[in-house]
Amino acid sequence: MGDFNAKVGRQNEGVEHVMGKHGTGEVNENGGMLIEFCDSHDMVIGGTMFPHRDVHKTTWTAPDGRIENQIDPISINQ
């Protein structure tokens, strides 16, 4: 576990075995590294596997209240 500030986004083309299509936003550099790490260690990004209402996906909101992100998702062994 760690504080990676990883955003994996919702695009899962080519990595369906690692993450689902229920993320939010766009992938960032740290998210890409997390996806690669999970892929090489037979892990999945659990927070993207199942549908949730958007209000339950957001893990960080900017002080202005307009920008929301789903960061640092939990990864689990398959």
The pLDDT tens digits of the residues spanning 8-54 come to 888 999 999 999 988 888 899 999 999 999 999 999 988 888 888 87
The beta strands (E) that lie in 1-78 are given as 43-45, 60-61, 68-69, 75-77
Expressed as residue numbers, the domain containing 2 is: 1-78
**Domains of the chain: total:** 1
Report residue 75's pLDDT band, with 50, 70 and 90 as the boundaries.
Answer: low
H-helix or E-strand spanning residue 30: helix 29-40
CB 38 within 8 A of CB 30: no
- Is the pTM higher than 0.85? The answer reads no
What whole-number distance in Å separates Cα of residue 1 and Cα of residue 14? 25
